[in-house]
Amino acid sequence: MNRKYRMPFKLIFGLLLLIQSFCSFGKTKVFVIDIKQEIGSTSWIKVQHGYQEAESIGASAIIIHMNTYGGLVLFADSIRTKILNSKIPTHVFIDNNAASAGALISIACDSIYMRPGANIGAATVVNESGQKMPDKYQSYMRATIRSTAEAHGKDTLIIKQDTILKWVRDPKIAEAMVDESVYIPGIIDTGKILTFTAQEAIKYGYCEGLCNSIDEVVGKLKIVDYELVKYQPTFFDNIKGFLMNPVVSGVLILIILGGIYFELQTPGIGFPIIASLVAAVLYFSPFYIDGLAQNWEIILFFIGMILIGLEVLVIPGFGVAGILGIIFASGGLILSMINNNWFDFSAVPNTKLLSAILTVFLSFFLSVLGGIYFTSRFWGRGIFSKIGLNVEMKVQDGYIGVTQNIEDLLGKEGIAYTSLRPSGKILVNNEIYDAISEANLIAKGTKIRVTRQEAAQMYVIEV
């Protein structure tokens, strides 16, 4: 570009940016967070960071753009708690599905908008294979979804001079999404789990209206002159969410313990301890970044591992050091997963504490079983043959434990190569052997005679 035109071009470009900033200044910020995958640790991290960003830009409303078949109740409960406690009004646009955990999160929002053809409901707790979990899990979910509906309170209706209080979200309907035994006349029969279509949800107070886009939702909210700001998760958000998944955390604990176990079975520093250290870094890093794992909790874990190592390698038997080591190591791993303040657990939900304890101790148990299994079955096979001694030392191959010509030395004379007190070394026929004095201590250089051999051990007397 010609130099004389370069300065005007920069000036014009700067003015355009300034005009754009002035145009956006004063607009109402509406923040959008996508939940379009299985509810899990990654979703929870996105919601946490999304709310932080929404607060930092002064957003007037948050819209969750949802399309999910459900996920882990633990993280769904965390998200719904975040929504209920938020100072910024939160609304949800159900693009297609809000099933199971997605239904719980949607009911927590201040208003629900659905695309025509969308569904909400079917919140029964199931396992990984889709089988219904025992009633104690259903009981907790029933109470959670019922209390979530109750959190929206009641509307006051005046009908024919009568004042009637009506739930904004009927808790009985929410409970019917979990429990098939709930019967609501005209809505659901016993033996069926409740799922609403968009029209049914509007009819029974579980949807404020139909929309086809986020902009239509904003219009329903009566927000004008607005700017949509969408949360963009980073690569590290996804990695951190993956590492904080309870299953992944359990696998990392297995690698930590398994690496230490196999390292104790082999001499020197090798691959097992390196794998264990890498797994420890991957385990603690996301919790440390999120402020869950404190320095003292990580130190507590390493002190526990040191105590276990001392118990195995230095101290005979299994006693106080080993027990304390297990307690410290387990405590460090568990405390790193929860939002405790030292030993104050009042702010920690019982489900999170129980999940952390089960994850750690199940991993401990599996690592012990795995160590025993691999050591006994595969130690001399495949990749394990590279980290263990698997050679059978046979006599015909020249491997012997004791000298074979001791009997030939009976009656032979020699000298004490070292002092025998009572054991030491002797020199016979210009060869050095281990020997034990039959009676007195024998000084170095004293003449000796070989008297007998017993249990592959040579005995001598002073001549």
CATH number of 413's domain = 2.40.50.140
Reported as a single tens digit per residue, the pLDDT across 169-181 is 999 999 999 999 9
Give the residues across from 267 on adjacent strands: none
Whether 325 and 421 map to the same domain: the answer is: no
Whether the link from the prior residue into 422 is cis, omega within 30° of 0, is yes
Same domain, 254 and 214: no
Q: Distances from the Cα of 157 to the Cαs of 110, 163, 242, in angstroms?
A: 19, 6, 48
Asked if residue 202 belongs to a domain, the reply is: yes
Domain boundary among 386, 408, 439: 386
Asked if residue 15 belongs to a domain, the reply is: no
pLDDT of residue 120: 96
Per the DSSP assignment, residues forming a β-bridge with 158 are 163
pTM: predicted TM-score of the whole model, two decimal places: 0.59
Q: How far apart are the first and last CA of the chain?
A: 110
288: closest CA among 237, 336, 322, 230? 336
pLDDT at 384: 45
The count of domains in the chain is: 3
> How far lies 294's CA from each of 245, 290, 326, 329, 332, in Å?
19, 10, 19, 14, 9
**Taking a C-beta distance cutoff of 8 angstroms, is the pair 81, 148 a contact?**
no
Q: What is the mean pLDDT of the chain?
A: 81
Together in a domain, 435 and 316: no
Does a structural domain hold residue 80?
yes
Domain range for residue 194?
25-235
Q: What are phi and psi of 314, to 5 degrees?
A: -115, -50
**Residue 345 CB-half CA count within 13 A:** 13
In a shared domain, residues 274 and 371:
yes
Residue 382 has pLDDT above 60, yes or no: no
Contacts of residue 388, Cβ cutoff 8 Å, sequence gap at least 6: 265, 266, 379, 380
Pair (379, 270) in one structural domain: yes
Give the pLDDT confidence of 389-412 residue by residue, as tens digits: 555 666 555 555 555 566 678 888
Of 48, 33, 45, 43, nearest in space to 286 by CA: 45
Flag whether 155 is in a domain: yes
Return the higher-pLDDT residue of 6 and 292.
Answer: 292
- Please indicate, yes or no, whether residues 76 and 135 belong to a single structural domain of this protein: yes
Q: How many residues does the chain have?
A: 463
